[in-house]
Amino acid sequence: MIDECLVVEFSVTGDDCPLAEATRETGATIDARPPQLRHDDYALLRFSAGAEADELADALDADERIRYLHVSRTDSRTNFRCLSKHPCVVHELTDAGFMAETLQYREGTERYTGAVVGHDVLQGVLSAAAETVGVSLERVFPLGSEDDEAVAQRWDVTPAQEVALRTAMEMGYFSVPRGATAAAVADELGISKSAFLERLRRGQATLFAQVFG
């Protein structure tokens, strides 16, 4: 039995996949679930966006690599489902043992967050990353008990929302007086201020709904 699990973050630049190109073209930020690869090499994609969602939908609808695009809206988010014929970079890392949790696309750059079990598997994942154009390691750290709860989504918030809430708390955003501004927390997360505030509101709404019924 392996006792150690590691959280790993990768960034991907220069990818010409439909989602990366669409965010580069429209300025939208996409939060995606890990793609599911079918036997016919089509990938099932599920993702959401806030601002620029209409432009994003138009860009993806015009992309010949995208099939069966479905768009639905809930509150301030727009949800997308589709098939993509373009190979996903994350599959290269998954084949080596990377367990993707969240994927984000922003201005053509991708950020993958997930886990690997043990240092031996980590070395294999890093070797696969080194052979894949544009993939670089951003962070790696041991998975703690509090992270296990995040992966299990004990409170039913998304990993991205939980990271936003946790970072805001650690930086003193909720303190009186505030220890950090929304812009400062957004910079720490590497996202826009509007994206941070949206994650914060949605995460708080989910938590409050569960706490107060």
How does pLDDT run across 59-98, given as a tens digit for each residue?
Answer: 999 999 999 999 998 767 899 999 999 989 999 999 999 9
pTM, 2 dp: 0.68
- Looking at the structure, do residues 200 and 161 belong to the same domain, yes or no? yes
Residues 56 and 132 grouped into a single domain: yes
Query: In terms of domains, do 34 and 127 share one?
Result: yes
C-alpha–C-alpha distance, residues 69 and 166, integer Å? 34
Domain count for the chain: 2
Residues 9-32 have pLDDT tens digits of 899 998 899 999 999 999 999 999
Indicate whether 159 and 137 sit together in one domain.
Answer: no
Domain boundary among 95, 115, 142: 142
Strands (E), the chain: 5-12, 29-32, 36-37, 43-49, 66-74, 77-84, 99-106, 109-117, 135-142
71 shares a domain with 25: yes
| Nearest-angstrom CA–CA distance, 27 and 105 | 10
Instruction: Determine the structural domain holding residue 190 and report its residue range.
Output: 154-212
